Every structure is written in structure tokens, then in C-alpha cells.
Amino acid sequence: MRPRPSAIVVALSGAVAAAAETFDVPSNPSVSGQPLDGFVSYSIEFSSFPDYAGNLSHPNTYSYNLINNIHAMSGHYPVFRVGGNTQDFALYNASQTTALIGVVDPRKSPDYPTTITIGKSYFESYATWPGVRFSHGFNMGLGGKTPQGRETLVHTAPLACEALRRGNLYAWEYGNEPDLFTTGPYAPRPEGWTETDMAAEWLAGTDVIRSQVKRHCPELKVDLMAPSNAGVSNALTASNMWASGLNRRRDIAIFSTHNYIDGAKVPGVTLQGTLMNHTRTRLSVDAHVAEYKTVFETARPAPPLVFGEANSLYNQGRPGLSNTFGAALWAVDFNMYSATVGFKRVHMHQGTNYRYQAWQPVATDATAIGTKAPYYASMAAAHMTRRVGRSPVSISSIRLSSDAESAYAAHYAPRAGDQSRPRLARLMVINMHGYNTTLDGAGLEPLPDPPQRTVRTYKFRVEGVADGATARVHRLAANGSDAITGITYDGWSYNHDLDEGRAVRLANVTVGEEIPVTRGEVAVRVADSSAVILSFGHPC
């Protein structure tokens, strides 16, 4: 289906206007807001990785086209973490020729298999995306509990290191969300299993990984991503894991934590109140920062802080919420706010048939192959965090007046020897006030007479930008917050049906807008349920 004409064009020319406020842009952004290269990254469910990447004889070129779009926009490839719940179900079968065989038990999860065997060909998938780095998730759930699990660790570590020894290694991960190992329908540990027990098992398992890597791939380091906990308020905590000696070997290179704003099956979850709500996002992210600071009050040095897995609603998302344009606006806000408070990379989680996925990599009985709304959030975030020349940017938050809106600034440092202040590269405004154009907000059947769309004007004092300079406008747009198709970023579509995910410029979307800076201020109009990036003084 080709996208409908961009709603943003209609909104700006004929909708209800809202009064403008003026906001100050920080002139000295915090260094903590400087993300790592490849800030916009992904986490792929372990059982879904062969679908997303393919294999040597049949690589998934559609996925790679989408990855290359992010590389073109940000200047860097996204980094992929291969893991999730299913890494802790995966057992190795040396005689299996198929990459992965999985059995779904709906009583445990209808969305992914909970009985899994992998063969040697599983590791071919790591060779299908040139330029991309990966972390590989090893099975701790069974690896530290059963003989077959321990054998799997011994046999797969050499296969993983062989697959990741050509400059494509990011990190190793042992276990997914061990803070939940004593809860849920398939808890791999009994009640009473403590952080001390966890640390002892983790050290024993990572010693096996280290010895196997040293034996088979001696040039590779064993840099670990841990503790990979599900949250900050579960029975087992990162601070107690750390105090129990988790980093005794001094090989944890990345502090990884996971975040979901709420649950797909939790009553009362809504698009406007849960996802399109900056305060909700801010409080959720801040809790992880507080945990990180608590852990490293005494444990030094502190490794970089990342979201190793994150997305909108746990349990793989909910239709009509996680797959909508409103969820894309949430994802931009989540990524940008995370950058401002010190997160160096965000891995957005996805899997085959998941409702919050950025793209569906293959056609199944449940879901058609295609690019989903959250992917467009990745493109906008990739643009916002792009370097200026060789200079990385630092992201700062600009507090606006409503829960349903947020703004961010990207500054870059002057060249060496230049004593001037950091320079403004980009401004982003995210207007999350809801605007729906379909019945029941489900993104399917259009309203016969949709309401007028409010346009809000945002003014910013932009210190250091000369009067008469212009800002280039890049819009993230759709027909409404409930839209699941017809989404564009700066007039580009990444639909599978147009050119297999490659960027296609749509003729029916206005692009190339420019806004002048007058008396030290810039004003931009942003329709409800849309976002905009203003770029100053350079092409991007």
C-alpha cells in the first residue's frame, strides 16, 4: 500500500493554531548527554535472529537495506544484541543441520518458542550483515543448571567466537534478566535463589566462555555486557549482584539494563496516557540512572550505561498501541531522553511477529513482511545523534510545558584550539498530543469526518546562531497518532513494497522547508502527533 498524502501538509495549512511559548536552549550541554557511535541500535530475540539476518545462502537483504538506511543517516551501523528470553532456552545439537528448531507452548508464551535447539548453521547469520557488530547471548538459565546446558555453553562458545572474530564482535552476554529467574511461568531457579547465588553461577559460566574463547579465538577479548536485568524494582537487584562480586574478574565492559514503560496486558494502558507521555518516560528512565549511580558509588570505574533491551510494552506489545505512529513518537522521546541522562546506546528489542517491532523480516501466517511505525523513530533518532563532521554531538533536554511534548538540542564541540562554546547543530520538538483519524484508534478503518488537527508553535532562544541564519526542517509525520501506515521522515518512505526498504522520496510530501533565525529566536510549527528536527548551518 502506498502512503496517503502527508497529513502534516494539510495540518499546517488549515488546522487550529495554538499559542506559542518561548523556551531557552541550553548553551552548555552536559557531557553525560554524549552518546556512543551507533547509539540507535537493536536487540533481536535469539529465536528470531535467523529470520532477521538469514544465512549465507539466503541473507535477508531487506533487513540489511533498513540497516544501511540507519548507517546513511547516522554515519554508523546500529549495534545488534542477539538475546532475550529465548537465549535461556536454547540448547545445542551438533547433528542438527537446521539453524533453529523451536516449539511454542502457548501456556508459557504464544509469541516465541520455549523449547529450542540450535545447530552449527545458526552462527552463519552473523556473517550476513557486513559492517555490523553483535553481542551473542549464552544460555544461563539452563547453562548453570543442567548437564546439557553446560555442554551447550562449552560447544557454542567456540562457534560464536569463530563467527565474531572478524571485527564484528560487540560483547558477550551470559543470561537474560536473571533478576526474574525465580518468577514467572518458566522460572529456571527456585525461590530463595539470591544475588550471591547468581554471581557465583555467572562467574562460573563466564569462566567457561573465557577459557573457550582463549583456546579457540585467542585474539578476542571477553568483554561482557551485564547484568542485563529486567528492571530496577525486582526481587534481585544490580547493586546486590555487584556487591556479591559480579565484576570480580574486571571484565564487565558494559552496564546493561532493560526497560519497558508498561505491560501489554496491564489494564488501563493507553497511547496518550502511557506512551505519548513524557513524564511517564522520564520517570521510568530516571529510575535506571539512579540504580546505576547507586551501584557505582563504591564500585569504580563505571562502565558505559546502555539499555541492552527496551521497547514500549512488555509481552511483545499490543496491537493498536505498540505498532502505531504514537509509539514511534514515544520511541523518539525515549531514545532522546535516555541520551540526555547518560545512556550511551539504546538497543530497541524486536522479534518475529512482535507487535512493537521496527520491521517484520519475513512473511508469516500472522504478520506480513514490512516496515513498521517504530522504524521511523530510529531514523529520526539516528539523524538527531549524527556527528557533525568528526565531532560527536551532546544531547540536552529542553523542558516544555506539557506531559505530551518534549524538546531536545544537539550541540557539537568546536575544533581543537577553538575556545568558543559548543555550537547548536539541531533542535528536535516532539508533539505527542493525540490526534486520531481512525475508528477506535486502531489504525485501520478511517473516520468519515476526522477532526481538525491542532498546530502548535514553539519558539526557542538559540544562543550563538546568527540572525538571518536558516534552519532546515525535517518532519516525522503521519496521518495521526493511530496511523500504522503512511509514515514518512523528511519525505522519505522505507516501505518494503516500494523498494524493499530502501529510501524512497515521496512526491506528495512537502520537504525542503527553511525557517529564519530572527532576533536570536527560531519558531517552528508542529502539528499534534508529529515531530520535527531543525538543523542549523550544515546539510544534516
Q: Which of 240, 224, 225, 125 is nearest to 179 (CA)?
A: 240
pLDDT value, residue 15 = 61
3-state secondary structure 375-396: HHHHHHHHHHCCCECCECEEEE
Q: What are φ and ψ of residue 278, in 5° steps?
A: -65, -35
Listed as ranges, residues in the chain with pLDDT below 70 are 1-19, 416-419, 440-444, 538-540
Are 329 and 432 within 8 A, CB to CB?
Answer: yes
- Confirm whether 35-385 and 393-536 share one CATH topology: no
- 3-state SS assignment for residue 67: helix
pLDDT value, residue 416 = 65
Q: Pick the catalytic residue: 195, 201, 291, 405?
A: 195
DSSP 119-185: -GGGGGGGGSSTT--EEEEE--TTTTT-HHHHHHHHHHHHHHHHHT-SS-EEEEEE-S-GGGTTSST
- State the Cα–Cα distance between residues 338 and 350, nearest whole angstrom: 19
Domain boundary assignment for the chain: 35-385, 393-536
pLDDT value, residue 5 = 34
pLDDT value, residue 450 = 85
Number of H helices, E strands in the chain: 10, 25
Q: What are φ and ψ of residue 76, in 5° steps?
A: -145, 150
Q: Which of 74, 179, 196, 139 is nearest to 533 (CA)?
A: 74
Are 27 and 421 within 8 A, CB to CB?
Answer: yes
pLDDT value, residue 19 = 61
pLDDT value, residue 361 = 98
- State the Cα–Cα distance between residues 406 and 18, nearest whole angstrom: 16
pLDDT tens digits for range 221-255:
999 999 999 999 898 999 999 999 999 999 999 99
State in words which class domain 393-536 has.
mainly beta
- Residues, the chain, total? 540
Residue 521 designated active-site: no
State in words which class domain 35-385 has.
alpha beta
User: What's the half-sphere exposure (Cβ side, CA atoms, 13 Å) at 157?
Assistant: 28
Q: Is 372 exposed, middle or buried (0-12, 13-18, 19+ CB in 10 A)?
A: buried
DSSP code of residue 69: H
Helix (H) or strand (E) holding 65: helix 61-74
pLDDT value, residue 13 = 52
- State the Cα–Cα distance between residues 471 and 538, nearest whole angstrom: 9
pLDDT value, residue 10 = 38
C-alpha cell at 356: 512493537
Residue 195 designated active-site: yes
pLDDT tens digits for range 315-373:
999 999 999 999 999 999 999 999 999 999 999 999 999 999 999 999 999 999 999 99
pLDDT value, residue 11 = 46
Q: Please name the residue that has the C-alpha cell 496486558.
A: 265
Q: Pick the catalytic residue: 201, 291, 309, 405?
A: 309
CB atoms within 10 A of CB 226: 27
3-state secondary structure 351-374: CCCCCCCCEECCCCCCCCCEECHH
pLDDT value, residue 447 = 80
